[in-house]
Structure 1
Amino acid sequence: MATLRNATLEAWMKEHGYSSNSLAEAVNSAVGDLTGRVGGLDGSSVRDWKAGRVRWPKSATRVALEKVTGLPATALGFVPRGRAPSSGAAASQEDPVERRRFLTAGSALAAVTATPAAGSGRRVGTSDVIRLQRRFTEIIASDHRHGGRLGIEQKATALADEALALQNSGSASQRVRARVYACAAAFRSSAMWASIDGRRYDDAMVHMREAQALAELAADPAIKFRIWSHAGTLYRHLGRPAEAIAANDVARKLAITRRDPMFACLGHARQAACHGLAGDPAAVQRALGSAQDALGRADLELPLPVWMAAVRNGAELETLALAAYLSLGDFERAESHAHRSLALLHPHMQRDRALNTTRLAHAQLGQADIEPAVATAMSIPPDVVARHPRITGMIREFGTKLRATAPSSSLTGTWNEYARGSLRNIA
């Protein structure tokens, strides 16, 4: 599909006498004013905008661009992710949510230097924090049901920006401000996770950096742990085990893991998955042993963050052990952990159930158990396979391995027919 040039931006630059290099310099300077660190754009960055190769610049860049041009991003021909380009007057009419995101996005350093509107009379309080936390619970519930959909990422990002806008809407105590920043960091971490789960890794990197900055402002150890352990997962999905281990080490060394064995359990279990990718079976076994020990020390009655629901009963530990042994090619152990994880997962965790069922099919195929492997893969609802990028990729890989393992098997023919019909050639 041909890339659509951004003629609107080109026309604005021509009218106002900007070259690609001079606009890059102006935006870099504006980024510096907003964040304290000069931007890193160059002429090629702007040429990518004009050519349509970049349809929606990063958030801090969009804020700086508005400062330079006095216009919202959509009025310059940019198109938010997940939307089709439009033409005419509609192109300059930015959706109210996107407009709010554009005005309040940018780095967390810019947000903290802003001051509340004078004389607003508004008091930001605990009730505002509770409302944001309730919305975060809704995001987690959507993630458990649907996984890495773009809509979840966009909603979480908009809610993060809404939390930052709240900081500037009135006065608040230092404690309340820290809690609001923690909410913003939590939303960004969910946007990051949705991007990872949907294999939108460049977007995940952007969310990660903003989430890390917001977590520092909040000084919330639980959300710091979530962000750094998700960073480890991001690098693991990118096939970079050394960075995955290093990022997860940051999470594991936070003080909260010494105070709360549940966090220690999750940190060790995620490290096992990283060691699996690195091909180190001894390190996998050590990490899983440490995770199991930590879970045994945990007080199961103590409250946990909503995103750790699967840690309490061991489902997350079994899931990460499954991922680790699958990476190692230890298919018998992987299958054992798959069955245990599926037995422990809560009914509402539909995404994780589908993923682990797919992993189970791979573990069975790895042992040349063709009949149960095909039956397991066919048990995953086709609509779930189609709408979840990770499952789509894993099912496609399953079909490829099946044809290589048993090319003349009637079961392979059954799978091929099923894939052509129910999965529409996904597999």
Structure 2
Amino acid sequence: MGANAVLRARMGELGLTQDELAGQMNAALEPLTGRPGGFSARTVRNLLNGTTTRPIGRTCVALERVFGCPIAELGFAPPSTARPREDPVLRRTFITSVALTAAAPAVGSPRRIGSSDIERLQRRFADIIASDHRHGGQRGTEQKAAAMADEALALQESGTASQRIRSQVYASAAAFRSSAMWAAIDGRRFDDATGHMRIAQELAEMAGDPFIKFRIWSHAGTMYRHMGRQAEAAAANNVARGLSLTRRDPMFASLGLARHAAIYGAAGDAVATRRAFDQAQDAMLRADFGEYRPVWMNAFYDQAELDSLALSAHLALADYPTAEAHAHRCLYALRPHMHRSKAITTTRLARAQLEQGDVEPAVATAMSVPADAATRHPRVTRMLTGFGTRLNHIAPDSTGASAWDQYARDTWRAPA
């Protein structure tokens, strides 16, 4: 049998090595069986090279849970007794019932949910964050995060727990939903993002966790900004900024101010934009970098992200020299794992250069965006398409325009 190119491509979307996929398959079975699975890199090799063409039993369940889709959509033949495609609500009910059955001890006493369960959820959440930073906007990341939120809620029903642990489980479910929301925002799937937001907000209220409340409302502000609804963007971001943690921790205050500055930029208010960014910078300088913060905050917010938001705002204000300066600062400070952010910043830098008449450098910058981001990240693809349109308006007969047109034809050539 031939190699499974579909599975290899889906692994590439999530940035998974063979060892990493095996680990995630093992973790996917743990809530159902009470212990991790026994998959290894060899299991994955057999799935990739065509040795295994019709996964059954635990392998089938683990793959479907990791990728959030039926086995047939991963390039495999369905089991000989193929199941009908399930309605999402029925699927969640099924997962919950299986988790309840699997978690119940043989002697009849209820299972105790504890800190080890929270640690497992947090490890899975860190995987989601890492996948998002590698790829961004992928539907697979969105689906996986939503499935993990459902898994966390199933855990709530699988045994007894203290109120503190239950709050942490709800916070984990809210965190997963907020990641699904962000992936949908980044992929320009705003209807899906809104649906995830509503669920995440409800879960965050049940958790009573100010950190995840901040994340959800801050994401909401960004979503409305991308949708061009600046009044709603400001209102949502103000909810995040009004939480008490922004008074306790200058780093959260800085992020709230920086995102508000980006909203001001999109609304065309240059004075408010600059004032808010100055305040965001001052707050960051006051922050204690050794203070506890959630993994999602530590993974992305730093000087580079502040400059990225400033770049976006000054582009919107048509202040191209300032935008270019922030782009260079952002690229210099970006951490190595921020692949998506690097692609977005590079694309915006190209636009800032182009608008200043630097056609050849702008084209070179745009063409340096990695091809996978250029073709598979919806936001980057949209911005590069806009770059090409603007280039052909500003300098239609230039060497740079000809080079870009050829590059675009080669990069976005439709498959036969």
**What's the TM-score, normalizing by structure 2?**
0.76
Q: Helix, strand or coil for the counterpart of 2:112?
A: coil
Residue 149 of structure 1 aligns with which residue? 138
Amino acid at match of 2:92: R
For 1:232, the aligned partner's letter is: G
The alpha-carbon distance between structure 1 residues 93 and 249, as it changes in their structure 2 partners (threshold 3 A), is closer
Q: Name the structure 2 match of 1:76.
A: none
CA deviations over 1:130-164 (Å, ceiling 9, x no partner) = 10001000000000001010000000000000000
Aligned length: 335
Matches within 5 A, 1:214-225: 214-225=203-214
Letter in 1 for 2:199: E
When residues 146 and 311 of structure 1 are mapped into structure 2, their CA distance, relative to the original with a 3 A threshold, is: closer
The CA deviation at 1:89 is 7.7
**Conserved? CA contact 2:375–2:411, under 8 Å:** no
User: Per-residue displacement from partner, 1:176-200 (whole Å, max 9, x unpaired)?
Assistant: 0000000000000000000000111
- Judged with a 3 Å threshold, the aligned counterparts in structure 2 of structure 1 residues 312 and 233 are, in CA distance, closer, same or farther, namely closer
Aligned to 2:56: none
TM-aligned CA distance change 1:425 to 1:323, over 3 Å: farther
1:92 is the counterpart of 2:91: no
Amino acid at match of 1:163: A
Is contact 2:237-2:260 (8 Å) kept? Answer: yes
Gaps of 5+ in 2: 1-68, 97-102
TM-superposition CA deviations, 1:281-304 (whole Å, max 9, x none): 011011101101110110112232
Q: In the alignment, which of 182, 186, 190 is matched to residue 201 of structure 1? A: 190
1:183 to 172, 180, 192: 172
Query: Is contact 2:197–2:216 with CA below 8 Å preserved after alignment?
Result: yes
Are the aligned partners of 2:104 and 2:111 in contact in 1 as well (CA < 8 Å)? Answer: no
Letter in 1 for 2:84: S
**1:403 aligned residue (381, 392, 395):** 392
Question: 2:355 corresponds to which letter in structure 1?
Answer: G
1:309 positional shift: 2.9
Contact kept, 8 Å, 2:255 with 2:301, in 1: the verdict is no
What is the aligned counterpart of 2:121 among 125, 132, 142? Answer: 132
Identical aligned residues as a percent: 61
Looking at structure 1, the residues matched to 383 and 320 of structure 2 have their Cα atoms a distance apart, in angstroms, of: 15
Q: Hey, what's the Cα distance between the residues in 1 that align with 2:166 and 2:339?
A: 35
**2:260 corresponding residue in structure 1:** 271
Distance 1:92 1:120, change over 3 A: farther
Q: Using the alignment, how far apart are the partners of 1:312 and 1:233 within structure 2?
A: 14
SS at match of 1:92: coil
Alignment of 1:238-249 (within 5 A): 238-249=227-238
Matches within 5 A, 1:18-417: 90=82, 92=84, 94=86, 100-103=91-94, 120-309=109-298, 313-417=302-406
What value does the CA root-mean-square deviation take over the aligned residues? 2.6
CA distance in 1, matches of 2:239, 2:73: 36
2:355 and 2:292 map into 1 onto residues whose CA distance is 39
Q: Which residue of structure 1 lines up, in the alignment, with residue 17 of structure 2?
A: none
1:370–1:411 CA contact under 8 A, matched in 2: yes
Structure 2 counterpart SS, 1:179? helix
User: Any stretches of 5+ residues in structure 1 without a counterpart?
Assistant: 1-78, 106-115
- Cα distance in structure 2, aligned partners of 1:138 and 1:313: 20
Q: Deviations over 1:263-322 (max 9, x none)?
A: 000000000111111110011011101101110110112232222236654111111111
Is the contact between residue 117 and residue 168 of structure 1 (CA under 8 Å) also seen in structure 2? no
Take 1:120 and 1:92, find their aligned partners in 2: how far apart are those partners? 35
AA matched with 1:92: P
Which stretch shifts more, 200-209 or 417-426? 417-426
| CA deviation vs aligned residue, 1:8-67 (integer Å, no higher than 9, x gap) | xxxxxxxxxxxxxxxxxxxxxxxxxxxxxxxxxxxxxxxxxxxxxxxxxxxxxxxxxxxx
Partner Cα separation in structure 1 for residue 376 and residue 354 of structure 2: 23
Cα 1:281–1:93 change in 2 (3 A) is: closer
- With 180-189 and 303-312 compared, the bigger mean Cα shift is at 303-312
